[in-house]
Each structure stands twice: as C-alpha cells, then as structure tokens.
Chains A and B, each alone.
Chain A
Amino acid sequence: MGKNQAMKQARIAAGLSQHGLAYRLGVTRQTINAIENGDYNPTIRLCVGICRVLGVTLNDLFWDVESQNRE
C-alpha cells in the first residue's frame, strides 16, 4: 500500500496538523500518520469521518487511480 499523498495535501489545505485532525476524529495522531504513510488501511467509517472533516469526497482521498490504470 503506497503513501496517501492526497490525504496529506487535503489536510494541509484544510489547515490542520496531524494532531488536529486526529483530535477532531477521536483517534490518535499515530493513526493519522499510519494512514498517510500507507501503513494502515482505515475502515470505511473512519474514511468517511476524514472526508467530512477535510471537506472532500471519498474518491478524492481513497480512490487509487494509478493502481486502477495498471489493472
């Protein structure tokens, strides 16, 4: 699983730190870090929560266009 650069960029664009996003989602900062680094595959519930906080859609953050093109 590759790094989730889209999520990192969306978070920075929203003016949130990893800690700030984690606080608003009720998770640890390490969990946000793990998702951004591709070390953890979040549940759909957490994905929706992240999208709501960052004001983006699931497709924007979690639809892996590159791997789809490879297929």
Chain B
Amino acid sequence: MELLVAVLLMIGAVALVFGVCALCLHLEKGLPEEYDERQQVARGKGYRLAFFVGLFYYIGASAYVIIADAPAIASASLIMAGLAVMLMALEFYCVLTHAAVTRWVSPVKAMVGYFLLGGVHLSIAIYRLLMHNGRYESLVWQYAYLFISVCFVGIGVAHLVQYLRRGKE
C-alpha cells in the first residue's frame, strides 16, 4: 500500500512538473526568448559564480566524505545537493541583477515555477521522512530532498522579494 502511494506520489509530482513546463512553453509561444546584452553579461558572471561556488562546495563535500568515511549514498546525495547549491548561486545572482528572466517572461511565472518545484520536493521529503524506516541510507536522501526543496523555495522567495521591490519603484 505504501509503495503504491509512493509511486502515485512520484507520478503525480513528475506530471505536475511536466504540466507546469508545458503550460509555460504554451504561454511563451511566439515570444522571442532573448536576454538583452546587459542580462547576458550578468548571466555570464552568474555562471562563473555558480562554477566557483560548486567548486568550493564539492571540495568541502569531498573532504567531508573522506574524513568522515561516509557511505556512497551520502556522496550521491551530496552531489545532488551540490547541483541545487550551484543553481541557487546562479539564480540569486541573476535575480539581484535583474537578469533572471527575459523581458518577455513574467517574474511571477518564474516565482510560481520555483515555488512549485520546491513544494514538490518538500512534499516528497516530508512524506518520506514520515514513512522512513529509520535506516541511515533512507534518511540521507530525505535530508537531501529537504535541502533541495529549501533551495528552490529560496529562489522563489528571491524572485518574490525582487518583484515586490520592483513594484515600489
């Protein structure tokens, strides 16, 4: 029964993400998806920042895995979390420099997308934390999910703050 619920939850989550992506693509049909020249420069700096953040993160994570002699499952979840950290660094920088979305895309749409992604990960993490069997391997993944959801929600909040600030200008 639990397995069935988990499978249905996963299918629902994947369908939701695909649905949101399809809706975004439909709404943006016919609009050029171009960043202007300032945004391209800013995004370039954002990618550089994300690269170095990722570099330092993975050096730290590797050191932790070696020193603590962590199992492979911990390494895998640290890699997953690292991707979220890099994405967060890129998006935070781009949001701060107004380079996160093109002028054709509403920041509200980006915000809702990130909140949805965060919500999906958060619901999976909470569900699995409630259902977990107490094994370390299982728990590590749950915390990775939780961390990734916090990253996505954080990006959504950054979009929201910037959107509210823009409204006051």
Could you list which residues of chain A lie within 8 angstroms of chain B, going by C-beta atoms?
22, 26-31, 34, 40, 42-43, 45-46
Contacts and interface: CB of A to CB of B under 8 A. Distances in A.
B36 A28 contact: yes
A27 B37 contact: yes
B98 A46 contact: no
Contacts of A46: 37
A27 B41 CA distance: 13
Nearest to B35: A28
Contacts of A43: 37
A43 to B, nearest CB: 6
Interface of B: 34, 36-39, 41, 98, 102-103
Contacts of A27: 36-38, 103
Contacts of B38: 27-28, 30-31, 34, 40, 42
Contacts of A40: 38, 41
A43 B72 CA distance: 49
A30 B37 contact: no
A22 B103 contact: yes
Contacts of A22: 103
6 contacts: A22-B103, A27-B36, A31-B36, A31-B39, A34-B38, A42-B38
Nearest to B41: A40
B167 to A, nearest CB: 13
B96 to A, nearest CB: 11
A19 to B, nearest CB: 10
